[in-house]
Amino acid sequence: MGLLTTLLMIASLIAPPPMVPVISRIPTEERVVFLTIDDGAVRDPRALDLLREHHAEATLFLTGKWVTGHEDYFRDLVAGGSAIANHTRRHTTLVDLDEAGQREEICGNADDFQRIFGTRPTLLRAPGGHYNDTTRRVAAQCGQRALVGWSASLNDGRVDYQGGRHELRPGDIVLMHFRKTFAEDLRAFLDAAKAAGLTPAALGDHLDR
C-alpha cells in the first residue's frame, strides 16, 4: 500500500465524508403537518386550483423524466406556492447504482431543476424510500440538505398510517403522488389534518427551526 493511499485512508477515518440526515417527520409542538407529492407522471389539471383553494402548501418531489415536456404545468404549481424537491432523474432505485450512477440521478436532477425553475432543490426523496450510505454521501455532495421519508401516505382516497396509528400527529410528513386519484387523495389528507387539528405547512420552512 502506497503512502498516499495510507494517508487518504487515515484521513477518511479521522474526518469521514459528510452525509445528509434522514427524516420522516419533524419534531415540533406546532400544530402543523407536511404534504409532499411525488413523481409527476399523472398531471391532474385541477391540481393547482385544488391546492390553492385549500391553502395546502406542498413540497413536490419531482422526477425529471416526468417533468420533461410539461415544465409549464409544474412552473404554475410553483408560482401557486408549492416548492420543488428532488426525486431523481429517472426514478431508478438508487441502491442498485454505483456512486457515479447515483450522482447522475441526484446531482443531474438538481442541476436540471435549477435550470428549469430557477431554484436548486435541496431536499431529496429516494425512489421507493430505498437508500444507502452512498446515497446520503452523494446527496450531501450535490447540495442536498436532507433525505426525506414519510410517516403516513395517501392511497386511493385513504390515509395509511405507520406504526399502528390512526391519526396524524404534529410534524408528520405525508406522502402523496401525482395519480388519477389526486383529488380524492388530497381530500383524504385535508380531512385527516382537520380531524387532528393540524394545518398544512411548508416542509422546507420548518427544517431549520
pLDDT in tens, the chain (209 residues): 566 556 556 655 666 779 999 999 999 999 999 999 999 999 999 999 999 999 999 999 999 999 999 999 999 999 999 999 999 999 999 999 999 999 999 999 999 999 999 999 999 999 999 999 999 999 999 999 999 999 999 999 999 998 888 999 999 999 999 999 999 999 999 999 999 999 999 999 888 76
CA distances for 26 relative to 11, 55, 159, 168, 170, angstroms: 33, 20, 19, 13, 8
Looking at residue 34, what is its pLDDT?
Answer: 98
Looking at residue 53, what is its pLDDT?
Answer: 96
- Listed in sequence order, the residues at least 6 apart from 206 whose beta carbon sits closer than 8 Å to its beta carbon are 26, 28, 30, 32, 34, 171
177 part of a folded domain: yes
Looking at residue 17, what is its pLDDT?
Answer: 78
12 part of a folded domain: no
Looking at residue 122, what is its pLDDT?
Answer: 97
Name the domain count of the chain. 1
Looking at residue 21, what is its pLDDT?
Answer: 97
43 part of a folded domain: yes
CATH number at residue 32: 3.20.20.370
The whole model's pTM is what? Answer: 0.91
142 part of a folded domain: yes
4 part of a folded domain: no
Q: At 186, which amino acid appears?
A: L
Looking at residue 111, what is its pLDDT?
Answer: 98
Structural domain for 197, as ranges:
20-206
8 part of a folded domain: no
30 part of a folded domain: yes
145 part of a folded domain: yes
SS3 53: helix
Buried-exposed string 117-131: b where 16+ CB fall within 10 A, e elsewhere: beebbbbbbbbeeeb
Looking at residue 207, what is its pLDDT?
Answer: 85
